[in-house]
A and B are shown apart, each in its own frame.
Chain A
Amino acid sequence: MKKSIGAVAAAAAIALSLSACGGGSSATSAKAKGEINYWLWDANQLPAYQQCATDFTKANPDIKVKITQRGWDDYWSTLTNGFVGGTAPDVFTNHLGRYGELAENKQLLAIDEAVEKDNVDLAAYNEGLADLWVGQDGKRYGLPKDWDTIALFYNKTMLASAGVSEDEMKNLTWNPEDGGTYEKVIAHLTVDKNGKRGDEAGFDKNNVAVYGLGLNGGGDSSGQTEWSYLTNSTGWSHTDKNPWGTHYNYDDPKFQASIAWFAGLVQKGYMPKLETTVGASMADTFAAGKSAINAHGSWMIGQYTGYKNVKVGIAPTPEGPEGKRASMFNGLADSIWAGTKNPVASVKWVEYLASAACQDVVASKAVVFPALKASSDKAAAAFEAKNVDVSAFTEHVKNKTTFLYPITDNTAKVKGIMEPAMDAVVSGKAPASSLTQASEQVNSLFK
C-alpha cells in the first residue's frame, strides 16, 4: 500500500461531490486520518479481519479501524437504521442481494475515481467478481473480498458401507427425467429402519433412518445451495440477463421439471420432509448421521470438516444434461457508506481490504476463498495443509462452470413471493406448475 495519499484524497473528493448524499463530511481534508467503523456479519472471519485492521493501522498510524461483528439476522436492519439515523459504519461488508437497492437510494459511495487513480488491478480478481459491483448507473460501489461455490459434502463411512467408490461420487451425472447416477447413488445411500436400502425391494419410505440427500429448505428465490446446481445445469437461468435482469424465468418448463424431480426425492423417501427441517441445521443433522450427502456452500467447509467422528469427503456437483456442472458463484464486497465523515480513510481501508496484503491474511486462516486469484490459491493451499481437499469448489471457477448470483431490483420482494411458493412445492402441497403463478407475481414487480 505505497500509494499516493494525495491521489486518493482527490479521487475521494471527486467521488464525494458526485454522490448526492455526502452529508457534512470534510472533503477538504487532504490527509487520511481518524477512526473508521467497519462492520461484517461472519464471526468466523472476524479474527482474519482483525489482523488486517492491525496491519493497516501499523502502515497508516493515523487511521484506526474499529470492527463490529453482527449476526446476519440483525445486520441489515441495524444497517438500515444506521443509514436513517446517521450512525451507519463508514465501511461495511455488502451482499449482492442487497446492494442494488442501497445504490439506488444513494447510500453507497461510488469509488470509480479512486480505483482508477490508485490503479487497482481489477483483472487480478477471479473472473466476473469485480464486475458484479458496478451498479445499474455504471458506477462501482465496492471492491470484491471473497467468493463461494457449491459442492457435495458426503459421509465417507456411509459411502464405503454402501459400496459406492469415491471415484463414482466425483463423477456423477444428473438429468431431470430419471435423475441420472446422482439419483441412483442417493437412493442407494438411503437406508430405512430395517436396514433396507432405497433401491431395494421392500424399502419403507415412511421409516427412513438415513436419507441419501439432506435438505436445507425450499430454497426461496435463488436456491443457492438447494437446487440451483441442478436447475442451472440444464441451461436454465434465473433471469433474462445478469446482473440487472428485469425478468425471472420461474415459469420455464425446464426449471419446473428440475424442481419437480427435486421435490420428488421427498416423495420417494430419499430426502427428508420439509416440515422436519425447521429448527436443527442441515449440517448438524448430517453430523448426527441422518443424511449421507449434503449440497452446501464453501463457507461451510470449516463446519463440516470440524465434526469429530464424522469422516467427510467433498465431491463436485453432478454433471447436468448438457454435460457440464454448474454452481452459483456468489461474492461479497466492501462498500463505503455515502454519509461517511471520513471518505478518504474509508477508501484507503477498502482498497487495503481488497489488496493482496489483507486477502493473503484471510487466505491463511482457511475459512473462505478470497477474491484475488493469487490469494484464492493460497487459501486452497491452507485448506490442504488442514487435510481438506477443496478442489470440488475451486474446480468450478477453474473450469468456468459458475453462474452468478441473480442480481436484480426488488430482490427482497422476489424472495418474499418465492419463499412460500417453493416451500409449497418442495413440501408436496403444490405441483411444480404452480410456480408459473408465482413467476407472474414476481415479474409484475418489474412493470
Chain B
Amino acid sequence: MTTLTKNPPAAADKQPPHSRRRRPAMAGLGDLRIALLFILPAMIGFVFFYVVPTIRGVYLSFTEYNILGDPEWVGLDNYTAIAKDPLFWNSLAVTGQYVLINIALQTALALGLALLMHQVAKSTLIRGALLLPYLMSNVIAALLWFWMLDYQIGVVNQFIEWAGMSRVAFFGSEEWAIPTQALINTWRHMGYTALLIFAGLQAIPQHLYEVANLDGATPFQTFRKITLPLLRPVMVLVLVVTVIGSFQVFDTVAVTTQGGPVNATRVIQYYIYQRAFTESDFGYGSAIAVILFLILALVAFIQMKFLKGNESDLD
C-alpha cells in the first residue's frame, strides 16, 4: 500500500486532503444568493410535499381526527395508547423480521451479482436483464407471485407436489407469510441494489488490484482487504436506502395478505394504513407514522455513525 502516493487525476474535483483552511465568512454570501436561486425549484417541492405534510402529520398525531370532522387536540393520548397497543408491538416485530430477511439476503445477493457484473458479465444485455424485475411495478410483482405461489392453483405448488413434497401455503400460513414476501421483494430489488454496488466497484482504482496482484494476494484476500473497505461508503449508502425502503414495505402486503393470517403480516405501514384509512383514526395513524419516522432516523444515524458512511478510504 505504500505505493499509493499520488492522487489519480480523475479526483480533480475533490478537495486536496489538507486544505482545511476556512474562508472569510463574507466571501460566501455572494454565492449564497445564486445558490438559493438554483435550490429554489427543489425547495418548493420539498417544502410543499415533505416539510408541510410532515409538520401537519406531527400535529395530527396529537389529535383525534377522522378526516371528515375537525381535528381535536388530545395531547399525548395517542402515544400512551400506542405504548399499550399489542398490535403496534406486533407490527414492529413483524416488520423487523421482514427487514432482517429482506436486507440480509438482498445485500448478499446484490454484492455477488455486482461482482459478477464487474468481473464476468460484461455484456450490456445481461447487465440490463438483472434490472428487469425492478422495472416491474411492486403491485404487479406481488400479484404475479401471489398467483404462482397460490396453494390451490399456483404453478410452484404443482412443482412441489410433483417433487413428492406436500403443498406449502406460502401466503396462508403464519410461518411462511413474511419470509415469502421478503423473498419476493428481494427478487425485485436485488438487481437495482446490485447496480448501485456495481457503480461503487467501478470507482475503485484499477491500479490497487494490479498492486495486490503483484504482491501475490489471493482473490479472497483482494476482496476482503481492498474491495470491501473501499466499497464501504457505497455499501453504507445502499444499506441506509434499502433499510429505510424495507421498513416501509406496504404494497406487497396490501395486495396479498392484508395483514393476515391473524396478525402475521400486519407490518407497521399496513397498520398505519388500517388505523388511518380503514378505521378513520387519522390521529392514531399519524402518531404511529411519527414513531416510524423517529425509528428510521435513528437507524440511519446509527448506520452512518458506526459504518462511517461519510468518509472514504480513498482520500
- A279→B151 CA distance, assembly (Å): 8
Asked whether A278 and B260 contact (CB < 8 A) given A80-B67, A285-B152, the answer is yes
List A contacts of B171 (CB < 8 A). 278-279
- A424→B151 CA distance, assembly (Å): 19
Query: Nearest Cβ distance between residue A130 and chain B, in whole angstroms?
Result: 26
Contact segment of A34-42, A184-192, A413-421: A413-421
Asked whether A276 and B169 contact (CB < 8 A) given A80-B67, A105-B68, the answer is yes
CB <8 Å contact, A279 and B262? no
Asked whether A77 and B274 contact (CB < 8 A) given A105-B66, A279-B146, A429-B262, the answer is no
Interface check B223, CB cutoff 8 A: no
CB <8 Å contact, A105 and B151? no
List B contacts of A381 (CB < 8 A). none
Considering only residues 135-179 of chain B, those with a C-beta below 8 Å from chain A are 146-147, 150-154, 167, 169, 171-174
Interface check B303, CB cutoff 8 A: no
Q: Which of A107, A279, A423 contacts B68 (CB 8 A)?
A: A107
- A416→B172 CA distance, assembly (Å): 18
CB <8 Å contact, B169 and A278? yes
CB <8 Å contact, B152 and A275? no
CB <8 Å contact, A275 and B151? yes
CB <8 Å contact, A278 and B277? no
CB <8 Å contact, B67 and A274? no
- A280→B150 CA distance, assembly (Å): 7
Interface check A70, CB cutoff 8 A: no
CB <8 Å contact, A275 and B261? yes
Interface check A164, CB cutoff 8 A: no
CB <8 Å contact, A416 and B68? no
- A142→B171 CA distance, assembly (Å): 40
Interface check A101, CB cutoff 8 A: yes
CB <8 Å contact, B153 and A423? no
Interface check B257, CB cutoff 8 A: yes
Query: Nearest Cβ distance between residue A371 and chain B, in whole angstroms?
Result: 27
The secondary-structure label for the interface of chain A is helix
CB <8 Å contact, A273 and B152? no
CB <8 Å contact, A105 and B69? yes
* Interface flags, A283-323, vs B, CB<8A=1, else 0: 01100101000000000000000000000000000000000
Q: Which of A278, A412, A420 contacts B151 (CB 8 A)?
A: A278
* Interface flags, B77-104, vs A, CB<8A=1, else 0: 0000000000000000000000000000
Q: Which of A83, A102, A420 contacts B262 (CB 8 A)?
A: A420
Interface check B222, CB cutoff 8 A: no
CB <8 Å contact, B278 and A276? no
Interface check B280, CB cutoff 8 A: yes
Interface check A433, CB cutoff 8 A: no
- A236→B278 CA distance, assembly (Å): 28
CB <8 Å contact, B169 and A84? no
Q: Which of B172, B266, B281 contacts A278 (CB 8 A)?
A: B172
List B contacts of A101 (CB < 8 A). 66, 280
Considering only residues 276-290 of chain B, those with a C-beta below 8 Å from chain A are 277-281
CB <8 Å contact, A273 and B68? no
Asked whether A424 and B68 contact (CB < 8 A) given A101-B280, A279-B147, the answer is no
Interface check A267, CB cutoff 8 A: no
CB <8 Å contact, B278 and A423? no
Asked whether A423 and B262 contact (CB < 8 A) given A274-B172, A276-B172, A412-B278, the answer is yes
Interface check A60, CB cutoff 8 A: no
Asked whether A279 and B69 contact (CB < 8 A) given A416-B279, A420-B260, A420-B263, the answer is no
Query: Nearest Cβ distance between residue B257 and chain A, in whole angstroms?
Result: 6
Query: Nearest Cβ distance between residue B13 and chain A, in whole angstroms?
Result: 47
List B contacts of A285 (CB < 8 A). 152
CB <8 Å contact, A419 and B278? no
- A413→B151 CA distance, assembly (Å): 30
List A contacts of B279 (CB < 8 A). 412-413, 416
- A84→B67 CA distance, assembly (Å): 7
* Interface flags, B275-315, vs A, CB<8A=1, else 0: 10111110000000000000000000000000000000000
- A424→B150 CA distance, assembly (Å): 21
Interface check A181, CB cutoff 8 A: no
Interface check A427, CB cutoff 8 A: yes
- A101→B257 CA distance, assembly (Å): 26
Query: Nearest Cβ distance between residue B287 and chain A, in whole angstroms?
Result: 16
Query: Nearest Cβ distance between residue B82 and chain A, in whole angstroms?
Result: 15
- A288→B66 CA distance, assembly (Å): 44
Query: Nearest Cβ distance between residue B166 and chain A, in whole angstroms?
Result: 9
List B contacts of A102 (CB < 8 A). 68
List B contacts of A413 (CB < 8 A). 279, 281
CB <8 Å contact, B152 and A288? yes
Query: Nearest Cβ distance between residue B242 and chain A, in whole angstroms?
Result: 27
Considering only residues 373-408 of chain A, those with a C-beta below 8 Å from chain B are none
Asked whether A275 and B67 contact (CB < 8 A) given A280-B150, A427-B261, the answer is no
CB <8 Å contact, A279 and B150? yes
User: Please, which residue of chain B has its CB at the minimum distance from the CB of A416?
Assistant: B279
List B contacts of A278 (CB < 8 A). 151, 169, 171-172, 256-257, 260-261
- A429→B264 CA distance, assembly (Å): 12
Q: Which of B67, B150, B260 contacts A419 (CB 8 A)?
A: B260
CB <8 Å contact, A275 and B262? no
Asked whether A84 and B68 contact (CB < 8 A) given A285-B152, A416-B274, the answer is yes
Q: Which of A279, A412, A419 contacts B152 (CB 8 A)?
A: A279
* Interface flags, B7-34, vs A, CB<8A=1, else 0: 0000000000000000000000000000
Interface check A277, CB cutoff 8 A: yes
- A304→B310 CA distance, assembly (Å): 62
List B contacts of A419 (CB < 8 A). 259-260
Q: Which of A84, A101, A420 has the most CB of B within 10 A?
A: A420
* Interface flags, B203-216, vs A, CB<8A=1, else 0: 00000000000000
Query: Nearest Cβ distance between residue A319 and chain B, in whole angstroms?
Result: 32
Q: Interface on B for A, CB 8 Å cutoff? A: 66-69, 146-147, 150-154, 167, 169, 171-174, 256-257, 259-263, 266, 274-275, 277-281
Query: 20 additional contacts, CB 8 Å, given A80-B67, A413-B281, A416-B274?
Result: A83-B68, A101-B66, A101-B280, A102-B68, A106-B68, A274-B172, A274-B261, A275-B261, A276-B169, A278-B171, A278-B257, A278-B261, A279-B152, A279-B153, A279-B172, A280-B152, A288-B152, A288-B153, A420-B266, A429-B174
List 16 contacting pairs A-B, 8 Å CB cutoff, sorted by A: A80-B67, A84-B68, A101-B280, A105-B68, A107-B68, A275-B172, A276-B169, A279-B172, A284-B153, A412-B280, A416-B275, A420-B266, A423-B261, A423-B262, A427-B262, A429-B174
